Amino acid sequence: MHYRSTLDVVAIKFACCLRYYPCFQCHAECEAHPARQWPRADWDRAAVLCGACRTELTIRQYRGAAACPACAADFNPGCAAHYPIYFEGR
């Protein structure tokens, strides 16, 4: 695992393979294809998993939350720096 703080609780379902990974580096180590961003048109799709309670969030819910809406587990605010890897647009 590449990110190990107590705030690193989410996994992202990658648009290219529809598999959950904790980060883009884990995806690169396990898959033979490049990562693909989720298009903005798909941001209402459940593609983020809270590792604390296993709730699936839509991309839009995740991007707008500082914590899981189901269990209140805090999300790492530093993850926003990686949004361009996972999600198209702003």
**pTM for this predicted structure:** 0.89
Q: What are phi and psi of 27, to 5 degrees?
A: -60, -45
How many CB atoms are located within 10 Å of the residue 68 CB?
Answer: 23
What does the pLDDT look like over 75-84, one tens digit per residue?
Answer: 999 889 999 9
**High-pLDDT (> 90) share of the chain, %:** 82
What does the pLDDT look like over 7-20, one tens digit per residue?
Answer: 788 999 999 999 99
Determine the Cα–Cα distance for residues 73 and 90; give it in Å rounded to an integer: 24
Residue with tokens 């490049």: 34
**Sign of torsion, CA 4 11 61 52?**
negative
pLDDT tier at 89, thresholds 50, 70, 90? confident
* Residue 28: both structure tokens together: 């690169």
